[in-house]
Amino acid sequence: MIRTSPSLAVLAFCLMATSGADTAQAEESEGSRFDRIIAGKLLKVCIWPDYYGISYRNPKSGLLDGIDIDMANALGTDIGVRVEFVDSSFSRLADDVLGGRCDVAMFAIGVTPGRQKVLRFTSPHLVSDIYAITTRSNRRIRDWEDIDKPGIRIAVAKGTLHEPVMREKLQQASLIVLDTPHAREQEVESGRADAFMTDYPYSRRMLDSADWARLITPDTAYHLTPYAYALAPGDDRWFERLQDFVSAVKADGRLATSAERHGLSTIVQIR
Amino acid sequence: MGRQTITRYADLGFVLFIVLCLVLSVLSLRYHRRAIEQETINTQTKLAELHTRAAVEQLAQTISTVDLLMRSLLESGYAERSSDGWKATLKAALINSPQLRSLSLLDDSGRVVISSNDDDLGLKPATAGYLPDVAPHSDLLRVGPPYHGRDLADGQEILDWSDVQPDIGFVPLIRSLSMGEGPRLSLIAVLNVDFFLNRLALRDAVPMEFDIVRYDGRILFSTAEAVHTAGRIASNREIAAGWAAGNESGVVPSVLDDDSALITHRVDTRLPIGVIAHVDLDAAITAAKSESRRQQATLLPIIAIALIAVLIAYLMFRRIGERQFRTQQIELARVGQLLDTLPAAVLLFDAEGRLVLSNRTWSETSLGDAVGAMRAKAGMTIEDFAAYLSHDDARPDGPVRAVLNGQSPAFDGEFATQSSLGARYFQLIVRPFAFDAFNGVTVMLLDVTRRRDAEQESELLRAAVNAAPSGIVITDTDAHIEWANPAFSELTGFAFDEAYGRKPAELVRSGLQGPDFYKRLWEAIRSGRVWRGELINKRKDESLYHESLTIAPVSDERGVIHHFVAIKEDISERKRLEARLIELARTDPLTGLANRRAFTESLASELDRMRRHDHPLSVLMLDVDFFKRVNDQHGHAAGDRVLKIVAELMRNKVRTTDALGRVGGEEFAIAMVETGGDAALELAERIRAAVADTRIDIGGQTIGVTISAGVAVAHKGDTVDGVLSRADTALYAAKNAGRNRVMRADDPA
């Protein structure tokens, strides 16, 4: 893979040469991020280290683990550079990517219209519905339809794709938007909120780690969100290179293998 | 005990065994089931107690932490903290405190002045009904009543748990602090009961419902999802009353339910809060029951299969055993049939020494008769049998037992028994007898009485034969000597050792008998006849002897001769005596001449010869003249002497072929063969002259005698008397003519 990267670079260069004038102008002024990565032999990847199964820093060992950690390392290998992980979160995502703290954000970022306005996404490699986590002893919420009832308080983390979705979906229940993902767990466990909304990978983590957690799944598809890698808009060469990478890992089975290893086979997007 | 009876007992025993197995199985399964149930109840009770204890500890620890938090908040922020500072402090205190919903600061009047939850601001929550029931501003942590709702703002006190089951609830905790003369501050913490319910929900190893009950018996919250029954509420109050009375923990049977429900309870040592767990053992017992049923479902078929297998095995063994038994019986019957044909009595004793088989000969022997009574008695033993036999007062039971026990390989012996027919003798042949699985001993009894008698007889005969004076020789058909008695050796000089294997012909044949003799002998004895005869044999020292020999052929029942018995007698002496007697009978003892009878016999035979051969024969008669005178004058001795001398003169004058005899007192006769009348006259004249010329000395004096003679010539028709009579007539004519002369008789015309 490393051996093929110069030819890919040539290809990217040709593509760039024939692309639109405005992007070409932007790249001309700054040069492609890809070139800088190659030149610096370093790929900086933004992750959210609390994202279980995606990009999770095991608190016991300090080591990172997850499907997107695997993918980031695979990307580094493919283009022949070292990978450096940069801690980020959904709320800081745009700032970190656009601010250049990392070359790409690889932590299963839900492709939402709001984010698409500021960020560029590769083809999705995962797709997740929305799930609710409540407590075992919660007697108010037993099924999905119990969520949107008067007096029910639903927590979401600020900056997550769930915030806008739930704001739109909830009619009778009240929505609590919290600064951190951790805070919504606290609110639910303490009983100040009845449930919080999350995605498939995070719900796995809750069930695996919290005894009190109970998963409420939608009866039918509630709101499917594709997950992809985010990068700064523009920079077609870098984007294409990432797209190539995504296609490659889908095609050669690396994505499927990693998904299976992290219990995400049900939401992986191979096509 | 018969085979059938044994089999029946075995069957009965086996059926009893199966039934016993079944009963034991059922009993043990029942015991096992009860044990499992009891074990389950015990385990579940113990677990329930542990869960209860753990729940109390968790509750107490959590509330103590809250107490500590509240106290530190109050102490640290007592005076100086601003309103905003308080709020931030309270909010911060909630982080990582999921047991708390909110924290609110009450002012002296009990109104919420600062709260983590803005909704609670300005509220004046009821502070009555808290435990411990001390002054409102005491600095003890006081536990409020249960509330339905999320927080103070929407909270409603739960007064009757039989009426309501809150979907969300809390318990307020109040802690106050008064510092000197300053205003008292109180913090009210809204305890998140879900925090506990979540954790209690994990304690699902035992089906139990936890009621968290205040010291006064009021339920604070419960894992029960249904409304509480009045009975349960009363029960809780009773237990809480017990806490106050000192029974701070324990297990009590539930008064509400059946005996499968029980209550474990425990109150905290410091806080006025306890846990009453209503344990439902139904499910556990049901599970135990179904487990034991499942085990039974597994075990019963196994037991059944095992028993069936045992049954089948038993039946198979029984069948094999019966088959073997039958085979053995058949074999024994065959053996019995075979044994019946034996001339010996055969008894078969089993390993215990009991009679199992006897043959016909046994029944028919005299011993069998003697043991007849015993035979009728089933199971005659070796000892019973042996009691009838003895040998020098020893009984055979010991040796028979020894063979039976394998201490000796075999035993043979002779024993006697007394029967009505006298003493009988038996030879005992004892051998071990193994036949399939049967181990025993065979005793064979041979009636040897006859043999013994025969032996005795034979002994006598042998003694007799050995003592016999006649030599007795037994040879085979080729005349090789097989046996000879001592008399034979005495007779022939050959010891038996020398004679053995040799033929008598090689030893004693003298050659004096011709081949014809022996040929006739062999013809006679080979044809089976007894041959008797006399012959002359030769001793070892070459001397000859006369032998009277009798040879008897000995043949078997088919008439085939296998031996010859020869009886030899030495008859030499008898022969000699016989010859002497014959001679004495024919001779005149005085003169040694033939007497009248011998002479007439000789004359008769000469007459026969004359007639056969047609040669002449003359007869001369002589008589001493005046012999009476000699006797009278000189005595009989002188007369005898005269006769002897005259006889001697006559014998000197005749030929050896002529017969000479004294035919009367002083009368002699001569038969002259092949002699005619003239020659006879001449001889007579020579005799007369010789006598006349002879002087005879008698006692010192000599006398002379004369003789007169008559001659007759025999002719073919003559008889002895005829010719003698004519000669006699001629003699008398000579006498009449003056004596001392010879006269010739006229020849018959």
C-beta atoms of A190 and B225 within 8 A: no
Q: B532 and B596: one domain?
A: no
The pLDDT of residue B201 is above 90? no
Class of the CATH-defined domain A5-127+227-267: alpha beta
- The residue range of the domain holding B534 is 468-576
Name the residue among A238, A211, A71 with its Cα closest to residue A133. Answer: A211
Q: B516 and B606: one domain?
A: no
Cα pseudo-dihedral A82, A88, A93, A98, rounded to 10: -50
Give the pLDDT band (50/70/90) at residue B609.
confident
In DSSP terms, B669 is beta-bridged to B621, B661
d(CA B454, CA B457): 5
Nearest residue of B to residue A142 by CA position? Answer: B167
Q: B553 and B656: one domain?
A: no
Mean pLDDT of B712-730: 89
What does the mean pLDDT of chain B come to?
86
- Segment (H or E) for B76: helix B3-76
In DSSP terms, B411 is beta-bridged to B430
Token pair of B20 as six digits: 């016993």
C-beta atoms of A186 and B98 within 8 A: yes
In a domain, B669, yes or no: yes
CA gyration radius for chain B?
A: 79
C-beta atoms of A190 and B195 within 8 A: yes
Q: B594 with B586: CB under 8 angstroms?
A: yes
pLDDT at A2: 39
pLDDT tens for B565-585 read: 999 888 888 888 988 888 888
Name the residue among B619, B594, B732 with its Cα closest to residue B676. Answer: B619
Q: B390 and B348: one domain?
A: yes
Q: Taking the domains of chain A in order of start, what are their residue ranges? A: 5-127+227-267, 130-216
DSSP structure string for A81-143:
-EEEEEE--TTTHHHHHHTTS-SEEEEEEE--HHHHHH-EE---SEEE--EEEEETT-SS-SS
d(CA B549, CA B571): 10
Name the residue among A139, A186, A211 with its Cβ closest to that of B168.
A139
For residue B17, give the 3-state DSSP assignment: helix
Q: B567 and B601: one domain?
A: no
Class of the CATH-defined domain A130-216: alpha beta
In a domain, B508, yes or no: yes
pLDDT tens for B130-170 read: 988 887 667 789 999 999 999 999 999 999 888 888 889 99
pLDDT at B2: 61
pLDDT per 10-residue tile (average), chain A, 271 residues: 42 42 44 87 93 90 93 94 93 90 93 90 93 91 92 89 89 90 88 92 87 91 92 91 94 93 90 73
d(CA B530, CA A194): 150
What total number of domains does chain B contain? 4
pLDDT at B369: 63
In a domain, B292, yes or no: no
C-beta atoms of B96 and A186 within 8 A: yes
d(CA B690, CA B43): 177
Mean pLDDT of B494-523: 86
Q: What is the CATH number of the domain that holds B351?
A: 3.30.450.20
In a domain, B445, yes or no: yes
Token pair of B324 as six digits: 């073997």
Name the residue among B95, B151, B223 with its Cβ closest to that of A186.
B95
Do β-strands A153-157 and A195-198 pair in parallel, antiparallel, or remain unpaired?
parallel
Q: Where are the alpha helices (DSSP H) in B405-501?
A: 449-467, 486-492, 496-499
Q: B224 and B143: one domain?
A: yes
In a domain, B28, yes or no: no
Q: B595 and B679: one domain?
A: yes
In DSSP terms, B7 is beta-bridged to none
d(CA A130, CA A150): 20
- How many CB atoms are closer than 10 A to CB B572? 13
Name the residue among B186, B196, B85 with its Cα closest to residue B141. Answer: B186
d(CA B645, CA B649): 6
Q: B572 and B632: one domain?
A: no
pLDDT tens for B285-335 read: 888 888 888 888 888 888 888 888 988 998 898 888 888 888 878 887 887
Residue A209 main-chain phi, psi, to 5 deg: -110, -25
Kindly report the nearest CA distance between residue B201 and chain A, in angstroms.
7
Q: B504 and B526: one domain?
A: yes
Residues of B annotated as part of the active site: 666
Count A/B contacts: CB-CB distance under 8 Å. Answer: 56
Nearest residue of B to residue A190 by CA position? Answer: B98
Please enumerate in sequence order all residues whose Cβ is within 8 A of that of A53, keeping only pairs 6 or more positions apart, or say none. Answer: A66, A67, A201, A204, A205, A262, A263, A264
Percent of chain B with pLDDT over 90: 19
Q: B263 and B153: one domain?
A: yes
pLDDT at B611: 86
- Checking ipTM against 0.90, whether it exceeds it is no
C-beta atoms of B197 and A186 within 8 A: no
Q: B133 and B68: one domain?
A: yes
In a domain, B29, yes or no: no
Chain B residues within 8 A of A212 when measuring between CB atoms: 195, 198-199
- How many CB atoms are closer than 10 A to CB B696? 18
C-beta atoms of B198 and A191 within 8 A: no
In a domain, B293, yes or no: no
Q: B376 and B406: one domain?
A: yes
The chain B residues in contact with chain A (CB within 8 A) are 94-102, 117, 150-151, 167-168, 170, 192-195, 197-202, 223, 225
